[in-house]
């Protein structure tokens, strides 16, 4: 295995171990909570992340992947210079009746920075920064964001995707208004035939 490939393999293995340790602060109904549960679109879908480096800070409850980051899950792919996971402890009453409080570690938000590209099928969102807020189930992309689907594209100051509602909003400002280029369906069909 070449040096670069071995380094990426080591980082991937280390990541799995690290995130397992961060996630083991509690269990729900006898099952371990999956640290990526809030990031996953479907139950049981694994998330795979490769990067040149991983820095984890237990006191700050955060972990940052950096250098050619690629995170994949099902048909979603997130590429960026850095990808930071912020964790928080959720506190719930003990179900066993001991009167103690139990705590679980879960992701509060995920930040992708630098050359961000989020792909799902033909949909591509690009920008300089993307933040996924777990509680609100929304993602905000800034830094010259562009939303593309096929040949169509929409640009603005901010792209907001509401994941549970399956809708998006593109906002403009006085300095940068929303701009859209939409091709008619007949042109798309014609291009497919060529």
> pLDDT tens for residues 121-174?
888 999 999 999 988 989 999 999 999 988 999 999 999 988 788 788 899 988
CA 68 from chain center: how many Å?
15
> pLDDT tens for residues 46-80?
889 999 999 998 888 899 999 999 999 888 899 99
How many domains, in total, are found in the chain? 1
Q: Which residue has tokens 């590209």? A: 117
The whole-model pTM stands at 0.69
Q: Which residues of 91-130 are buried (b: 16+ CB within 10 A; e: fewer)?
A: eeeeeeeeeeebebbbbbbbbbbeebebbeeeebbbbbbb
Residue 81 sits in a domain of what CATH number?
Answer: 2.60.450.10
Pick from 84, 81, 166, 85: nearest CA to 126: 81
Q: Domain of 15? A: 3-193
For residue 159, give the DSSP letter: E
Q: Which residue has tokens 């689907």? A: 149
The token duo for 188 is 């798309």
């Amino acid at each position: 295995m070449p040096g670069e490939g071995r380094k990426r393999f080591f980082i991937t293995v280390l990541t799995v171990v690290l995130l397992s340790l961060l996630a083991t602060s509690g269990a729900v109904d006898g099952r371990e909570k999956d640290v990526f549960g809030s990031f996953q679109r479907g139950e049981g879908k694994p998330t795979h992340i490769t990067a040149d480096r991983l820095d984890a800070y237990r006191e700050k409850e955060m972990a940052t992947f950096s250098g050619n980051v690629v995170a994949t899950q099902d048909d979603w792919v997130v590429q960026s210079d850095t990808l930071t996971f912020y964790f928080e402890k959720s506190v719930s009453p003990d179900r066993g009746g001991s009167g103690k409080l139990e705590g679980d570690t879960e992701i509060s938000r995920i930040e992708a920075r630098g050359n961000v590209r989020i792909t799902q099928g033909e949909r591509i969102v690009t920008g300089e920064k993307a933040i996924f807020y777990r509680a609100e189930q929304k993602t905000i992309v800034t830094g010259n964001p562009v939303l593309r689907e096929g040949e169509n594209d929409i640009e603005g100051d901010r792209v907001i995707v509401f994941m549970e509602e399956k809708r998006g909003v593109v906002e403009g400002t006085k300095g940068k208004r929303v701009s859209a280029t939409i091709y008619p369906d007949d042109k798309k069909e014609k291009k497919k035939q060529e």
